[in-house]
């Protein structure tokens, strides 16, 4: 019936399902095709979402250069269309990728920027998640005062939004330091 948007959305959903089932090759194929279709019809949001998902899949497979490329491109697209939440999540994922590679300065930069973006858009959960990740990086570098500060701030944020499980996790981690 010529519904290219619907077809692209179906491909995207199929890609996400394959990803959940850890069928990464099929997921990459579907998401790449969906991204191409979204680009052809001018749906920049759909294309950016596919790039973010592709970055996540490459990260799960420890294919870090591809993950960084996809996530950086997705972040750029999200920023161009004013989708600040999507851009912030990409920054957080980029921080995670650098963290996994023990590239701590880059991870700190990305996570700090993501935290700032989450704060600007009012996502306290996103900001708290970044604080937890930053605390972990500081802890791994034996920067204990910074780790404690970040964990205390994360714990406070989790308390404020009623996220008792993560607030308790932060307290436990503080006890470990």
Burial of 19 (0-12, 13-18, 19+ CB in 10 A): buried
Helix (H, G, I), strand (E, B) or coil at 81: coil
CB 150 within 8 A of CB 135: yes
CB 77 within 8 A of CB 51: yes
Q: What is the residue-level pLDDT of the chain in tens, covering all 177 positions?
A: 678 988 899 899 999 999 999 999 999 999 999 999 999 999 999 999 999 999 999 999 999 999 999 999 999 999 999 999 999 999 999 999 999 999 999 999 999 999 999 999 999 999 999 999 999 999 999 999 999 999 999 999 999 999 999 999 999 999 988
Residue 2: predicted pLDDT: 72
For residues 131 and 167, what is the distance between their CA atoms, to the nearest angstrom?
A: 12
Helix axes 124-140, 144-160, angle to 10 degrees: 160
Using CA atoms in the order 73, 12, 100, 90, what is the torsion angle rounded to 10 degrees?
40
Domains (range + CATH), the chain: 1-81 (1.25.40.10), 83-177 (1.25.40.10)
Residue 1: predicted pLDDT: 63
- The answer to whether the Cα torsion of 93, 95, 96, 101 is positive or negative is positive
Taking Cα atoms as reference points, which of 165, 157, 99 lies closest to residue 126? 157
Tens of pLDDT, residue by residue over 21-34, are 999 999 999 999 99
Secondary structure element (H or E) that encloses residue 6, with its range: helix 4-20
Residue 57: predicted pLDDT: 97
Angle at 28 between CA 22 and CA 29, to 5 degrees: 120
């Amino acid at each position: 019936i010529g519904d290219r948007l619907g077809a692209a959305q179906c491909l995207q959903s199929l890609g996400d399902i394959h990803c959940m089932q850890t069928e990464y090759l099929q997921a990459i194929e579907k998401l790449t095709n969906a991204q191409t279709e979204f680009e052809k019809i001018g749906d920049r949001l759909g294309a950016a979402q596919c790039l973010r998902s592709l970055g996540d899949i490459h990260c799960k497979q420890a294919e870090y250069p591809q993950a960084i490329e996809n996530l950086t491109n997705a972040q750029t697209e999200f920023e161009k269309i004013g989708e600040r939440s999507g851009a912030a999540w990409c920054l957080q994922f980029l921080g995670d990728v650098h963290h996994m590679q023990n590239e701590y300065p880059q991870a700190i930069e990305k996570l700090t920027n993501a935290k700032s973006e989450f704060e600007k858009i009012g996502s306290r959960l996103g900001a708290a998640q970044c604080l937890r990740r930053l605390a972990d990086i500081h802890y791994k570098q034996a920067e204990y005062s910074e780790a404690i500060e970040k964990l205390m701030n994360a714990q406070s944020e989790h308390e404020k939004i009623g996220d008792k499980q993560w607030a308790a996790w932060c307290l436990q981690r503080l006890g470990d330091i």
